């Protein structure tokens, strides 16, 4: 768990963060969302001591990070940034293996770890011998994630790691990262200015503006109570992004027995289809309901029930 | 994306080396070949055979450049390691000031202290070689991609580990370019050494100027020019090689 208490930071006379109190829970993905210059990257850099706060304390698992050696602290935190930051003069295997190497792992163990991580991020094993310049942006970004995970840190700090990618690659990497996260359960602090990315990935969403936290909480909860300032940034499409976050299975309490489906109704798979897919199927078929297949049992999702999905935070 | 540039064939360097050897070991024949252009030389006294002069020339350049590199590189790397921006500015200012001093003046001032011969020349060339190496070392290290440097810091590399494993390898082509400049300057500047008795390829040039003998001037000038071209070409080849290794990942 990472706790910030009363943290302020300014660059010269320009305030970047003003009295921040926030907690990032163990095993959770916390998304820091806000416009450029709101202080979200500054906040991230305070956590691994690339910057020192002017006031306030930062604790990691109860320990004040000011008392730790910065290098020790950082080696316990994976760090992935936009523009990748891969070392161009090192092969992929050397890039991934650099922190384990510093930590004194034996060569064989590093080699095994590199192979394991390449598989985890979905790259062929022979990529270990490639140089960063020989890869596409998406592949390099995958290596960036693998490098952050290399020494199996409990905490991952990610500063717009997918920021330079095209929308298709970006969404694919988000999904893959969430798949990895479901298995590894790291404490993730993730900076982004992409509302969709923030909503889809967040266990906890922290919305920032001009050095302060506007609102925080699970995305669904924020959707219900978003303050005016927050609404101004999130926009009215915010709830539509939420449709993409949840599968039909997540909202199975909305399902009703399948009887009475008119012919020509669309059909989705409960485990894989998101609420957005379900809504799309309704729109495409021109019906106000969709057939849902939940492990072979047919159900029906009606539009009127879907409208209740987020009302009063029913999840 | 894979952009492995084509290796350049070894053509230019052997050619230059051959010409250099020809001009040093068999200058009379070269002069005969060039006589329609430069006319006949006057009979002159030979102080030392041309190969010996060339050896002295190369020797003093190697020695002074190595010394300049060691000192300037250490100063540049150390000032970067300890984040001494003020010192870096001071070093660069002192360096440019030193560079604006004419070589002849440095040598003249050094003679009373060090006497005639090899030493004042070595001192002058050493001083001249400092600035290019220092400047490129400092600029090479401070001008690195911020993302890469910050990634290294954020991953928990210590200051020294960052310097040795990330910053120096990435700045290497730039630093090498500084060494190239220093060497080229010194190859030309070493000619002045002949006036203080340090020998070198400046000997025939100075004699040629005194006796109005263009052939004698070319006897020193041609090998010096070829030597400079050869050194330049070899250094550039090494720089390209290093540069290929450090070229950045994403075509931003």
Distance, CA of A48 to CA of A226 (rounded, Å): 30
Range of the domain at B138: 70-246
Q: Could you read off the pLDDT of A171-213 as tens digits, one per residue? A: 888 888 888 898 889 999 999 988 888 888 899 999 998 888 9
Contact across the interface for B154 and A81, Cβ inside 8 Å:
yes
Q: State the pLDDT at residue B2.
A: 43
Domain for residue B227, yes or no? yes
Q: Among B1, B2, B158, whose Cβ lies nearest the Cβ of A71?
A: B158
Q: Does B225 lie at the interface with A, CB-CB under 8 angstroms?
A: no
Residue whose tokens read 């602290």? A73
Q: Over pLDDT 70: what percentage of chain B?
A: 94
**Whether residue A44 has pLDDT greater than 90:** yes
List chain A residues with CB under 8 Å of B153: 50, 74
Give the rounded distance of the alpha carbon of A200 from its chain centre. Answer: 7
Q: State the pLDDT at residue B3.
A: 46
Q: Could you read off the pLDDT of A59-79 as tens digits, one per residue? A: 999 899 988 899 999 998 999
Q: State the pLDDT at residue B38.
A: 77
CA geometry: angle A267, A273, A275, nearest 5 deg: 95
What is the average pLDDT across B49-73?
94
Query: What is the maximum span of chain B, computed from C-alpha positions, in angstroms?
Result: 71
Contact across the interface for A82 and B147, Cβ inside 8 Å:
yes
How crowded is residue A211: how many other Cβ atoms within 10 Å of its Cβ? 22
Q: What is the CATH number of the domain that holds B93?
A: 1.10.3720.10
Domain for residue B147, yes or no? yes
> What is the gyration radius of the CA atoms in chain B, in angstroms?
22
Alpha helices in A70-128, H assignment, sequence order: 70-75, 92-102, 107-120
Q: Is B39 left (phi over 0), alpha (psi -120 to 50) or beta?
A: left
Q: State the pLDDT at residue A84.
A: 67
Q: Does B85 lie at the interface with A, CB-CB under 8 angstroms?
A: no
Structure tokens at B100: 């604006």
Residue whose tokens read 């959770």? A28
Domain for residue B200, yes or no? yes
Report how many domains make up chain B. 1
Structure tokens at A242: 């939420």
Q: Could you read off the pLDDT of B153-200 as tens digits, one per residue? A: 999 999 999 999 999 999 999 999 999 999 999 999 999 888 888 888
Domain for residue B232, yes or no? yes
Which is more confident, B97 or A232?
A: B97
Distance, CA of A284 to CA of B47 (rounded, Å): 98
Phi and psi at residue B164, in whole multiples of 5°?
A: -75, -40
What is the average pLDDT across A255-276?
83
Under 8 Å between Cβ of A33 and A193 = yes
Domain for residue B20, yes or no? no
Distance, CA of A155 to CA of A2 (rounded, Å): 9
Domains annotated for chain A, with CATH where assigned, are 2-236 (3.40.50.300), 246-311 (3.90.1280)
Give the rounded distance of the alpha carbon of B41 from its chain centre. Answer: 31
Domain for residue B215, yes or no? yes
Domain for residue B23, yes or no? no
Under 8 Å between Cβ of B175 and B217 = no
Distance of CA A25 to CAs A49, A61, A213, B158, B249, Å?
19, 10, 17, 28, 34
Q: Among B1, B155, B247, whose Cβ lies nearest the Cβ of A99?
A: B155
Q: Tell me: ipTM over 0.85.
A: no
For the ranges A46-55, A264-273, B35-44, B201-210, the lowest mean pLDDT is seen at B35-44
What is the average pLDDT across A239-268?
82
Q: Among B157, B165, B249, whose Cβ lies nearest the Cβ of A133?
A: B249
Q: What is the pTM of this model?
A: 0.81
Domain for residue B55, yes or no? no
Q: Could you read off the pLDDT of B135-153 as tens digits, one per residue? A: 999 999 999 988 889 899 9
Distance, CA of B114 to CA of A197 (rounded, Å): 72
Q: Is B224 left (phi over 0), alpha (psi -120 to 50) or beta?
A: alpha
* Three-state secondary structure call for residue A33: strand
């Amino acid at each position: 768990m990472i706790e910030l208490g009363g943290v302020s930071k300014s660059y010269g006379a320009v305030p970047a963060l003003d009295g921040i109190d926030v907690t990032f829970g163990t095993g959770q993905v916390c998304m820091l969302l806000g416009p450029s210059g709101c202080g979200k990257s500054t906040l991230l850099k305070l956590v691994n001591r690339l910057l020192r706060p002017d006031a306030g304390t930062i604790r990691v698992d109860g320990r004040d990070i000011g008392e730790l050696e910065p290098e020790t602290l950082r080696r316990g935190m994976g760090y992935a940034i936009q523009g990748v930051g891969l070392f161009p003069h090192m092969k992929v295997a050397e890039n991934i293996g650099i922190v384990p190497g510093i930590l004194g792992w034996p060569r064989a163990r590093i080699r095994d770890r590199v192979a394991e991580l390449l598989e985890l991020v979905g790259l062929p094993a022979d990529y270990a011998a490639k140089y960063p310049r020989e890869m596409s942006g998406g592949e390099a970004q995958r290596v960036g994630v693998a490098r952050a995970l290399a020494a199996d840190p409990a905490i991952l700090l990610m500063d717009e790691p997918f920021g330079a990618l095209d929308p298709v690659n970006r969404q694919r990497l988000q999904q893959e990262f969430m798949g990895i996260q479901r298995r590894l359960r790291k404490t993730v602090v993730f900076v982004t200015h992409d509302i969709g990315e923030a909503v889809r990935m967040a266990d906890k969403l922290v919305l920032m503006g001009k050095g302060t936290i506007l609102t925080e909480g699970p995305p669904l909860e924020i959707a219900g109570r978003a303050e005016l300032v927050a609404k101004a940034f999130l926009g009215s499409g915010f709830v539509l992004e939420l449709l993409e976050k949840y599968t039909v299975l997540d909202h199975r309490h909305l399902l009703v027995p399948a009887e009475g489906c008119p012919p020509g109704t669309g059909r989705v798979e409960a485990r894989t289809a998101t609420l957005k897919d379900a809504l799309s199927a309704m729109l495409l078929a021109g019906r106000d309901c969709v057939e849902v297949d939940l492990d072979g049992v047919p159900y029906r999702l009606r539009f009127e029930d879907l409208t209740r999905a987020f009302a009063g935070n029913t999840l | 994306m894979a952009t492995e540039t084509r290796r350049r064939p070894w053509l230019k360097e052997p050619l230059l080396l051959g010409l250099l050897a020809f001009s040093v070991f068999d200058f009379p024949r070269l002069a005969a070949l060039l006589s329609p252009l430069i006319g006949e030389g006057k009979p002159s006294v030979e102080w030392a055979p041309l190969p010996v002069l060339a050896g002295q020339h190369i020797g003093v350049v190697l020695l002074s450049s190595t010394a300049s590199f060691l000192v300037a590189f250490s100063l540049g790397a150390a000032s970067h390691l300890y984040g001494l921006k003020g010192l870096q500015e001071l070093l660069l200012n002192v360096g440019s000031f030193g560079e604006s001093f004419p070589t002849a003046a440095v040598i003249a001032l050094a003679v009373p202290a060090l006497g005639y011969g090899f030493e004042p020349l070595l001192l002058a060339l050493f001083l001249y070689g400092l600035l290019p190496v220092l400047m490129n070392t400092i600029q090479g290290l401070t001008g690195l991609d911020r993302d890469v440097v910050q990634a290294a810091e954020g991953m928990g590399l210590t200051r020294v580990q960052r310097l040795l494993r990330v910053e120096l390898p990435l700045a290497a082509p730039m630093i090498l370019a500084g060494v190239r400049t220093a060497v080229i300057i010194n190859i030309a500047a070493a000619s002045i050494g002949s006036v203080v008795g340090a020998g070198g390829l400046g000997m025939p040039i100075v004699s040629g100027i005194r006796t109005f003998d263009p052939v004698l001037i070319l006897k020193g000038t041609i090998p010096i020019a070829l030597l400079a071209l050869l050194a330049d070409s070899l250094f550039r080849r090494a720089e390209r090689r290093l540069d290929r290794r450090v070229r950045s990942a994403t075509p931003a």
